[in-house]
Amino acid sequence: MFHREGHKIIFTTLVFVVGSFFLIDEFMTIEWLRKALMIAVLIIFVLILQFFRNPKRHTHTNENNALSPVDGKVVVIEEVFEKEFLKEKCIQVSVFMSPLNVHVTRYPVTGTIVYSKYHPGKYLVAWHPKSSEENERTTVVIENNRFGKVLYRQIAGALARRIVNYAKVNTMATQGADSGFIKFGSRVDLFLPLNADIKVEINQSVRGGETIIAEVK
């Protein structure tokens, strides 16, 4: 199953692959080079398919849990002051996605979307300390019955050139449901209240819509 954001790119790449195979077969007479070029083109297509895959996730909705919004590795767990919307101290949990991870963004909690904003910006590497404030990004805040206001931020990286955000203010977010997509590598920051009981560790691998990031104490 592939994400809808990848349908056009997959189709375009398929056309490129078929055309390349035809040209290589027609004009390349050196047998080993002919095979090598065909394999290289095929690898490119497989990588594109890999990037836009959208596997089914088994989300067990629970208002006492905040789930990981994306697949990847936990790179930050720290107390910070969130100054864009919450304007208070929070626990920030950041998940870094490599180009090989699933890049679907999912709602970490269920609730009403009270804020959703796109910010143009730079393309610093996703693990850069200033990427959360200076890179292209989107910020979404969900009002949840147990956690209160939960903020998550999609952040573009050095390779990511397009962030897709489906969250719209005054609509309902369902925990684990598709909320967007980041093309070609990045990270997501999740901001939780200070009383949240964090259940993950630095360098832990997490799965979007399944791994519990925090519980309400």
Alpha-carbon torsion 41, 123, 157, 137, what sign? negative
Instruction: Confirm whether 186 is a catalytic residue.
Output: yes
3-state class (DSSP) for residue 93 = strand
Give me 155's structure tokens.
């952040």
Which of 68, 131, 186, 205 does the annotation list as catalytic?
186
Phi then psi for 192, rounded to 5 degrees? Answer: -125, 160
CA triple 125-102-122, angle to 5 deg = 25
Give me 177's structure tokens.
């449901």
Give me 125's structure tokens.
């590497």
Phi then psi for 80, rounded to 5 degrees? Answer: -140, 170
Whose structure tokens read 């143009």? 120
The residues annotated as belonging to the active site are 186
